[in-house]
Structure 1
């Protein structure tokens, strides 16, 4: 007589066992979608509250008056900003210079021509 395989009393043949989540599994199952939702909401909030706005019409555009300056040896953006507009905070002037000249690293080389805001 052949012995039949032992079947645990709590499971029925042909029926898969019930899935049980651990504490870590529940945290991942609930926490991951919440983190992704929070990231999406923060991204949309940043996009919608962005201060940059294009002008609605051509008449709404303003041209920044600029002058061209040649960088001298040993001169930095900080020194140039102080010479160009000593009444303003040099950090604000540096931001304007970087934007006007599309400077990536904020570094300048001697002999380089820069557009700087004119009062």
Structure 2
């Protein structure tokens, strides 16, 4: 007998599936570490402007004859009004009721 007690064992070998599992696990750990380092607020749609400062939400008071569609179109002239209406409804907790009334204060998304 010579050397260590484990000298007669064969070296550990990974199968193709074992290597794939190991690579997937390493990728998942790397992505989680990156997410924790950068932070979830650093990704698109976080509500922050390009310089890292958040802009305050604007509010408007609904005038007689105004609709949510018109308010959304005016708030984001270059964007899709359907998306703007959806964001305004979510921000103001309007649920499935897109009807606004004169004098009602509506918060507009900041971006």
Q: Deviations over 1:69-105 (max 9, x none)?
A: 1110010011101111110011010000000001031
The equivalent of 2:110 in structure 1 is: 118
- TM-score, normalised relative to structure 2: 0.50
Which ranges of structure 2 fall in alignment gaps of 5 or more residues? Answer: 1-34, 49-54
Moved over 3 A (4+): none
Matches within 5 A, 1:1-119: 59-61=39-41, 62-63=46-47, 65=55, 66-104=57-95, 105-119=97-111
SS in 1 for 2:107: strand
SS in 1 for 2:106: strand
Q: Deviations over 1:3-29 (max 9, x none)?
A: xxxxxxxxxxxxxxxxxxxxxxxxxxx
Larger Rg: 1
SS in 1 for 2:73: helix
Which ranges of structure 1 fall in alignment gaps of 5 or more residues? Answer: 1-55
CA-CA distance at 1:63 after TM superposition: 3.6
Q: Deviations over 1:35-87 (max 9, x none)?
A: xxxxxxxxxxxxxxxxxxxxx87x42434742111110010011101111110
- TM-score, normalised relative to structure 1: 0.47
